[in-house]
Amino acid sequence: MAKIGVPTPQKTGPFIGPATFMNVPHSTDFSKAKAVVLGVPYDGGLHPTRIGSRTGPAAIREQSQLVRPFQP
């Protein structure tokens, strides 16, 4: 019987699991990272009727999952 591997975002599709930037696997170990993208929702200091910047990081993650990875 064939062994089933761990599903990766590239195999399961862009809309399964937690939303990550450009659909890369989620990690908490940054010791070997060359870059880290951190989305921080923040609405402080804005005019009371012009809110909504807190939804920006989630929207960027959502749309970045539609980007095809470039692999030379």
At 48, the amino acid letter reads P
- Alpha helix stretches (DSSP H) within the chain: 9-12, 56-64
pLDDT at site 28: 83
Per residue of the chain (72 residues), give pLDDT as tens. 555 566 565 565 656 667 788 878 888 888 888 888 888 877 776 667 777 777 788 888 888 878 876 564
Rounded CA-CA distance 27/5 in Å is 18
pLDDT of res. 14: 55
Residues 64, 22 contacting (CB under 8 angstroms): yes
Instruction: State how far the Cα of 13 lies from the Cα of 27, in Å rounded to an integer.
Output: 18
Q: What is the pLDDT of residue 18?
A: 74
> Residue 67: what pLDDT?
80
